[in-house]
Amino acid sequence: VPGGYGGIVVVGTTLYFEAWTGATELWAYETTNSTAWQAADIYPGSPGSAPGYWGGFVKVGTTLYFDAMDDNTGSELWAHDTESGTTWQVADINSGSGSSAPGYYAGINVVGTKLYFCATDGNSGYDLWSHDTVAGTTGRVADINWGSEDSIPGKLSGLTAVGTTLY
């Protein structure tokens, strides 16, 4: 089912979503001429990168942000520039082959030009993380349940942005 994991994001007249064609990858559909194409092949072959599986898709300007998996770094934060068609890994939070699973409990949330999401670095459990889309920096916001235990922000009620404040 196209958009089954992360939903569908609209940029201009183009829809972006994940779809299965032997592997799950990022696809696009141009509504003005009914053309579909694979926008990115992050993890070639089966099972694919499963873009948006944990955190869905969000956009800042013309750039999509989402979680995706590759065969070297597990599930991490990725981006796709809809104007140039380029796709890149934004951060390897759980460095190496471990997965940080950004957005696992509360999705990926946009506040201004910052993304907020729950992720793990493999040492301190699931905590609140952010990515500044202008500065290109990613870091832990808070280790609420200090140490290796999870704080799991947003697990039960999600995270909500009101103006420039995240709740």
pTM given for the model: 0.93
| Cβ 101 vs Cβ 122: under 8 Å | no
Cα distance between residue 36 and residue 62, in whole Å: 18
What is the pLDDT, as a whole number, of residue 152?
Answer: 86
Query: What pLDDT is attached to residue 57?
Result: 96
Looking at residue 5, its pLDDT comes to 78
What pLDDT sits at residue 153? 84
In three-state secondary structure terms, 3 is coil
What is the per-residue pLDDT for 1?
62
Chain-centre distance of CA 82, in angstroms?
15
pLDDT at residue 154, as a whole number: 85
pLDDT 10s per residue in the chain (167 long)? Answer: 677 778 899 999 999 999 999 999 999 999 999 999 999 999 998 889 999 999 999 999 999 999 999 999 999 999 999 999 999 999 999 999 999 999 998 999 999 999 999 999 999 889 999 999 999 999 999 888 877 788 888 888 889 888 888 88
